[in-house]
Structure 1
Amino acid sequence: MNLLITGAWKDAKEYIRKIEADGHKVHFFQFEKDELPCSYEWVEGVICNGLFLTHDIRKFIINLRYIQLTSAGFDRVPMDYVKEHNIVINNARGVYSIPMAEFALFGVLELYKKGRKFFENQKQHIWEKQRNLYELFGKKVCIVGCGSVGTECAKRFRAFGCIVSGIDIFPRCDDNYEKIFGLEKLEDMILKSDIVILTLPLTDKTRHLIDKAKVEKMKEGTILINIARGAIVDIHALTSALPKLGGVVLDVFEEEPFNEDNPLWDMENVIITPHNSFAGEGNDRRLDGVIMENLTCI
């Protein structure tokens, strides 16, 4: 196969010789916005991230038949075109799930254990006990999107004694959850949950899935975590409901960077991070394994 590999795969150069030894021809270029180092017609397969944001997939004519993404999401790829032309596409499933699940757990504990308050007191050398700390044990957790990321979240929250349920468009039996419900049960589960974690993909159906009506159904003290895609949450509806919520952890936003003038930055019960939950030292090793394993199947 004629493979075009971009710098989105950090360790690509370490594997090119092996890939070529397996019978593939390779062109590598670092930055996906740059001009291709070959003709579009030459390319039969690509390993990339956002290549099709700046290079129209239609320019690859009919020869493109394989796509390997370095991201977990498919939202940077024209999936209708991919399906129409029967192009095999793989994502980086499982690569970022562990650090993202750890991040979700960190966010809840930061709020429950008043980490920010203790940090500020430490800076000012203030010895002040905080009596109103919360426990994770026994809390009802609803994970919306029970794929690889959601399931890694489920494992960790169950280990803390939480009661974990899931919402997914494809309900199934899974020992990591008490039960996985269909999307039609989302509002009911939100009403009952202490913690709601969003780990679902962004599609036309999930855009602003968490809207004003659903936010208002959340009970007082609920914590909402979004480590999925920013557009899943109607940020304006969320802002108006914050006094009622126990807190929110937002790692993703509909527009990034997040507007520096937004009042959410300064709210005490809000944790804002710059689309960083995926980061972990094991990612490169896991991504290398996924890419090379998938290449053996073509």
Structure 2
Amino acid sequence: MDSVAFVVDSTADFPMGWKPPLDLYKLPLRLIVDGKEYRDGIDIDSDRLCELMSQGHSVSTSLPSMEDIVRLFEEIKDKYEQIFVLTVSQKLSGTFNAVRMVIENFGLKNFFLLDSKAVSGKIFYILWRLMKDAMEGKRISQQSVAEYEKHCEMFFLLGSLDYLKKGGRIGKLSLLLGKILHVKPVLKIDREGEVTKAAVGMSQHDAIAKLIALVKSSVEKFSNYLLYGGYGSVHVKEMLEQILSNFPKCDGIARVGATVLAHTGPEVIGVLVGKSF
């Protein structure tokens, strides 16, 4: 029996080519397109979802199915001494509670549930730190997650606030400002795992400048740092590359997954800065 494995859900986005140092499993959230259900990363990918969204199809998301959770946990429960399940922020999804229900109902004593209080690239960063701890024999807890969450920042820009509004992830006032005043907020995930404004640009150009300034400030704060970019539709990849060119290095680029895209829209770009380790 191996000692440790990790499980994340499909809102976690990894840089292309990254190889986890320990066994890692992914639990798919579900996307509903015009009433038809798909499993993220299995039945649908980012390219296909971007295509469907651009055609105006109705898109929403749902938790991982109980069947998928039970199937995965049954498959791995006897293979490891400890299995850490790191989910998307409870403030953004009910995935944490669905997983907790399965762990409690099946009495899975070697499963340990953690709220990342994050999404996308921030989950990747926290996961990587936890895996390093596991390899060094350190104790892993929710406090570990809270500590590493402080060691990274993720900023992102959207083509439109409409998708966040439809998913109930942003208030009506922010949507109104975005539509009437044409402001472009730079968003982030705060320490509680909620979407908040980090800055406001008066135009796309201004918003990009403010995002770059925020990233530079984080780079200075962390001194030795890791920097990653992420994008949704291939049409915004060039914009991301232009933003990243303002920094001496980039450690990797991720493609934003379908579940996250359903809430941000296809034209999302993001930058993650983390303390090097």
Q: Name the TM-score, length of structure 1 as normaliser.
A: 0.27
Higher relative contact order (CA 8 A, sep 6+): 2
TM-score (norm. length: structure 2): 0.28
